[in-house]
Amino acid sequence: MQIHNRNIWYQFCLVCLATIGAVGGCLYLFVVLVDPWDGLPLSLPLHRLPVTSNARFTMPMLARRSRFDGHPRAA
């Protein structure tokens, strides 16, 4: 009987850890792909508006974009 209980708790812990890992991984992937400050290399190339009024986060990411580099594009 005790071996059966230990096996059930082992399976329960394994399922809980797998669920927490899957949810955490999906949340991490969502944040990386959406990337509200456009600062991560894996973010999708979407048009984004600045999402915060804090210039500490938005201005450096906007300045990294090629359209703000100050050089005219070659035609």
Nearest Cα neighbor of 29 from 18, 40, 15, 19 is 40
pTM above 0.75, yes or no: no
Summarize pLDDT for 33-49 with one digit per residue, the tens. 887 777 777 777 777 77
Q: In the prediction, which pLDDT does 58 show? A: 67
Residues of the chain scoring pLDDT < 50: 75
Q: In the prediction, which pLDDT does 52 show? A: 66
Q: In the prediction, which pLDDT does 22 show? A: 98
Domain spans of the chain, in order of start: 2-68
Nearest Cα neighbor of 36 from 27, 23, 26, 47 is 47
Specify the 3-state DSSP secondary structure of 29: helix
Measure Cα distances from 24 to 17, 33, 71 in Å.
10, 14, 41
